């Protein structure tokens, strides 16, 4: 195809750069389920530079729209862990490999296929923390009578529960999440169907889902908190909330860390003790494993 030749000319100059690790080409016509943001072609260039920002250029080649993305390998790593920007992983998995220095891309794909134990534990805690956040906010909105806001948050909570189940099975969650869930966890899929297709009122649907989600959270607390508790144990001393927020290993779910800590204290997985603050009349909490 002419577009292949033109594209090749565009990215060939990057392939010769020392900092270029891999180049992936995604054509919408070849992978119709892949998210290309409306472009005919996406080119993903991965660089070995942690300081490199995410640059995007839009081109027109032979009347085809092309989105050219330049990102760092560090961002790919972050996406693998957090699940943000899932389209990046979709492109890596489904795109055509145009260049792969030192088999960098092959190693990424192997990591996706295998989902190493370290990745799995952290991803479980990330999804569990997001689940807690959406559930608590959905419950608050329901209590205050804001049914549609509650419905929206519970829908997202259910989505995180689905991803939690997928990761627990040793798989990366795909863009098409519910097809995966239908295969591996019919019970969660049933909750999804009941939320959207039930003949009950919106209020009743939310009420029933709140009860089901509370049970699900209780049953998932152990696997969902394993990474956090492991990191805390490695510190070998009780930590304040300030100490916890500074730990690099917890950065991926830092935004929901406070909620996770309170949940684990309530479930007696975490011990909260009072400690006198030096030269002050008040105390602070320090946290350790039960």
pLDDT for the residue 279? 78
Residues 124 and 235 in one domain: yes
Residue recorded with tokens 């927020």: 245
Task: Please give the average per-residue pLDDT across 34-47, as a whole number.
Answer: 89
Strand 270-276 and strand 20-27: the pairing is unpaired
Residues 284 and 149 in one domain: yes
pTM here is: 0.84
pLDDT for the residue 187? 94
In this prediction, residue 214 has a pLDDT band, given cuts at 50, 70 and 90, of very high
Residues 106 and 201 in one domain: no
Task: Please give the average per-residue pLDDT across 234-239, as a whole number.
Answer: 94
Residues 78 and 215 in one domain: no
pLDDT at residue 49 tops 90: no
pLDDT at residue 31 tops 80: no
Give the CATH number for residue 86. Answer: 3.30.460.10
The domain boundary residue, chosen from 113, 138, 155: 113
Mean of the per-residue pLDDT values of the chain: 90
The domain boundary residue, chosen from 113, 142, 174: 113
pLDDT at residue 127 tops 60: yes
pLDDT for the residue 94? 85
| Residue that wins the pLDDT comparison between 131 and 19 | 131
pLDDT for the residue 287? 96
Surface-to-core class of residue 6, CB atoms within 10 Å of its CB (0-12 exposed, 13-18 middle, 19+ buried): middle
pLDDT at residue 267 tops 80: yes
Residues 105 and 85 in one domain: yes
Min mean pLDDT across 67-71, 115-119, 263-267 is at 115-119
In this prediction, residue 215 has a pLDDT band, given cuts at 50, 70 and 90, of very high
pLDDT for the residue 10? 81
Residues 245 and 165 in one domain: yes
pLDDT for the residue 12? 81
In this prediction, residue 199 has a pLDDT band, given cuts at 50, 70 and 90, of very high
Residues 44 and 140 in one domain: no
Structure tokens at 252: 């991926």
CB 129 within 8 A of CB 257: yes
The residues pairing with 59 across neighbouring beta strands, listed in sequence order, are 66
Residues 212 and 163 in one domain: yes
| Residue that wins the pLDDT comparison between 227 and 116 | 227
Please name which of 242, 247, 198, 249 lies closest in space to residue 227, comparing C-alpha atoms: 249
Beta strands in the chain (DSSP E): 20-27, 41-47, 55-61, 64-72, 96-100, 270-276, 283-289
pLDDT at residue 126 tops 60: yes
Residues 170 and 281 in one domain: yes
Q: Which of 109-118, 144-153, 190-199 has the highest mean pLDDT?
A: 144-153
CB 263 within 8 A of CB 132: yes
Residues 235 and 148 in one domain: yes
Q: Domains in the chain: how many in total?
A: 2
Give the CATH number for residue 230. Answer: 1.20.120.330
For every residue of 159-174, DSSP letters joined together read HHHHHHHHHHTT----
200/9 Cα distance (integer angstroms):
58
The domain boundary residue, chosen from 90, 113, 136: 113
pLDDT at residue 167 tops 90: yes
Q: 236 lies in which domain range?
A: 117-289
97/89 Cα distance (integer angstroms):
13
Please name which of 142, 127, 281 lies closest in space to residue 216, comparing C-alpha atoms: 127
pLDDT at residue 33 tops 70: no
Share of residues in the chain with pLDDT > 70 (%): 97
In this prediction, residue 3 has a pLDDT band, given cuts at 50, 70 and 90, of low
The predicted-structure confidence for 53-98, as pLDDT tens digits, reads as follows 789 999 998 888 999 999 999 888 888 888 778 788 889 888 889 9
pLDDT for the residue 200? 93
């Amino acid at each position: 195809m002419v577009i292949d030749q033109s594209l090749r000319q565009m990215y060939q100059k990057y392939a010769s750069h020392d900092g270029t690790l891999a180049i992936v080409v995604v054509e919408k016509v070849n992978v119709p389920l892949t998210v290309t943001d409306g472009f005919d072609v996406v080119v993903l260039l991965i660089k070995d530079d942690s300081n490199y920002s995410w640059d995007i250029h839009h081109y027109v080649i032979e009347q085809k729209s092309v989105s050219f993305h330049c990102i760092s390998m560090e961002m790919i790593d972050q996406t693998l862990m957090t699940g943000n920007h899932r389209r990046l992983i979709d492109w890596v998995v489904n795109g055509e490999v145009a260049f792969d220095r030192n088999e960098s891309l092959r190693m990424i794909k192997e990591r996706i296929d295998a989902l190493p134990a370290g990745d799995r534990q952290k991803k479980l805690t990330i999804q569990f923390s997001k689940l807690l956040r959406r559930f608590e906010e959905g419950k608050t909105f329901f209590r205050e009578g804001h049914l549609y806001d509650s419905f929206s948050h519970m829908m997202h909570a259910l989505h995180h529960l689905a991803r939690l189940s997928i990761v627990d099975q040793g798989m990366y969650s795909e863009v098409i999440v519910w097809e995966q869930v239908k295969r591996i966890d019919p019970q969660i899929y049933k909750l999804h169907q009941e939320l959207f297709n039930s003949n009950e009122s919106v209020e009743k649907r939310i009420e029933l889902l709140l009860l089901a989600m509370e049970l699900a959270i209780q049953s998932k607390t152990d696997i969902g908190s394993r990474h956090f508790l492991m990191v805390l144990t490695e510190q070998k001393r009780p930590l304040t909330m300030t100490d916890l927020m500074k730990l690099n290993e917890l950065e991926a779910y830092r935004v929901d860390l406070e909620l996770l800590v309170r949940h684990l204290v309530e479930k007696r997985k975490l011990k909260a003790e009072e400690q006198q603050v030096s030269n002050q009349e008040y105390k602070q909490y320090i946290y350790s494993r039960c």
